[in-house]
Amino acid sequence: MTVVAKVSDQDKARVVEEFTREEGAAVTAVTGLLRRPDIAFKAMSDDTARHQVNHAQVERGRQARDVFDRTSPVAPAVRHIDRMVEFLDLVTACHSFVAAVGRVVPGLRSRTLGEDGARSCTRT
């Protein structure tokens, strides 16, 4: 039996934590470990670790977008396209609403509104 096999997982983890106190060493170690699919899968089963990784990804994307917005000569055109896409999303939502109302309202013509429905319509 090797010496490593005699050391508990908890003690091994403590040694790794001790050696990775410096940020550079920690980044190198974690990056290397997360490149192993089995390790990455098991690490992501921890809710806090998964949340931190997701948060870091979102923050990294936001920072990249900020740099792009400040430095890219095409950033104004991209912002214009983004506004057009948002407007089209709004038009699509309004169209969906109008289409749904157009399907539902004709079926309501022969129905009467009950007391509960009338009260809910008159509440402010």
What are 6-36's pLDDT values in tens digits?
889 899 899 999 999 999 999 999 999 999 9
Q: Which residue has the higher pLDDT, 22 or 4?
A: 22
Residue 61 located in a structural domain:
yes
Residue 1 located in a structural domain:
no
Contact of 49 with 43, CB cutoff 8 Å: yes
53 and 65 in a single domain? The answer is: yes
Q: In which band, very low, low, confident or very high, does the pLDDT at 70 lie, cut at 50, 70 and 90?
A: very high
Coil, helix or strand at residue 60: helix
Q: What range defines the domain where residue 29 resides?
A: 7-71
Q: What is the pTM of this model?
A: 0.57
- In angstroms, the first-to-last Cα distance of the chain is 78
CA 88 to chain centre: 23
**Is the pLDDT reported for residue 82 higher than 80?**
yes
CA distance to 8, 19, 61, per residue, from 32 (Å):
22, 15, 21
78 and 60 in a single domain? The answer is: no
**Is the pLDDT reported for residue 124 higher than 70?**
no
Coil, helix or strand at residue 28: helix
Last residue of a domain, one of 40, 71, 102: 71
Q: In which band, very low, low, confident or very high, does the pLDDT at 57 lie, cut at 50, 70 and 90?
A: very high
13 and 54 in a single domain? The answer is: yes
Q: Which tokens hold the place of 103?
A: 């399907």
